[in-house]
A and B are shown apart, each in its own frame.
Chain A
């Protein structure tokens, strides 16, 4: 069965520090990969996505993610975190256009001054 794992339930970083959020998926084929951010009480905002091509993708708000097929991973990174980045981050995978997404359990990010 397909699954998406975000091993870190909660991460705390200092403002200005670098950030890496982990995401692993389990499936035979290469999926479509996404990272979303959700602020409290809000909907989902797409940060970036990967379908094919360059395995390092750039997104909004200074985020990037790298697809590593050998590790079945799609980790999200940001070189310098801002206080406004505090939110819940979800990794999601899909396997065909028009089909459902599978979401990871989310990683809650706290940014301290």
Chain B
């Protein structure tokens, strides 16, 4: 089946630093990837839609300068949390739609970010 990976799975950083999270589709190409954020004991909230070769579309309330998204290829999207602060600590999950029409998107295992 289709596999989506995320790297790193865990990251701890100091306040003020930037953190990059990678989302890769391992065995398929994806023109569209999504980034979600999940707070403890809460649901997934869509942050942005990432399309290969174009600018990401951010959901209302998500700071695009804070959460930089780059979708450089059909198998890779990155989320960079710039100048991270403790309130950015969360579980970040990406997902990808295969280019060849399929009926579902595939989710990565998530990245847990802890900002000290």
Distance (whole angstroms) from the CB of A32 to the closest CB of chain B? 7
Distance (whole angstroms) from the CB of A95 to the closest CB of chain B? 12
> What chain B residues lie within 8 Å of A98 (beta carbons)?
31-32, 97
A 20-57 to B, binary, CB cutoff 8 A, 1 in contact else 0 = 00000000000010101000011110100101000000
Distance (whole angstroms) from the CB of B50 to the closest CB of chain A? 11
> What chain B residues lie within 8 Å of A90 (beta carbons)?
43-44
Residue pair B109, A32 in contact (C-beta under 8 Å): no
Residue pair B93, A32 in contact (C-beta under 8 Å): no
Minimal Cβ-Cβ distance residue in A for B45: A103
Chain B, 34-73, CB within 8 A of any chain A CB? 34, 41-44, 46, 49
Interface centre among A32, A98, A103, A108 (most CB of B within 10 A): A98
Distance (whole angstroms) from the CB of A4 to the closest CB of chain B? 9
State whether the Cβ of B105 lies closer than 8 Å to any Cβ in chain A. Answer: yes
Residue pair B104, A105 in contact (C-beta under 8 Å): no
Of B43, B103, B109, B112, which one neighbours A97 at CB under 8 angstroms?
A: B103
Contacts A98-B32, A98-B97, A105-B43 hold; do A42 and B104 have CB atoms under 8 A apart? no
Chain A, 96-113, CB within 8 A of any chain B CB? 97-98, 100-101, 103-106, 108
Question: In the bound complex, how far is the Cα of B108 from the Cα of A112, in angstroms?
Answer: 30
> What chain A residues lie within 8 Å of B112 (beta carbons)?
41
Distance (whole angstroms) from the CB of A87 to the closest CB of chain B? 12
Minimal Cβ-Cβ distance residue in B for A44: B107
Residue pair A100, B109 in contact (C-beta under 8 Å): no
Residue pair A100, B49 in contact (C-beta under 8 Å): yes
Distance (whole angstroms) from the CB of B51 to the closest CB of chain A? 10
Residue pair A103, B108 in contact (C-beta under 8 Å): no
Chain B contacts to A: CB under 8 angstroms = 6, 31-32, 34, 41-44, 46, 49, 91, 93, 95, 97, 101-105, 107-110, 112
Q: Please name 21 pairs of A and B residues whose Cβ atoms are closer than 8 Å in the assembled complex, sorted by A.
A: A36-B107, A41-B91, A43-B6, A43-B107, A43-B108, A43-B109, A46-B104, A49-B103, A49-B104, A90-B43, A94-B105, A97-B97, A97-B103, A98-B31, A100-B34, A100-B46, A101-B95, A101-B105, A103-B43, A104-B43, A105-B43
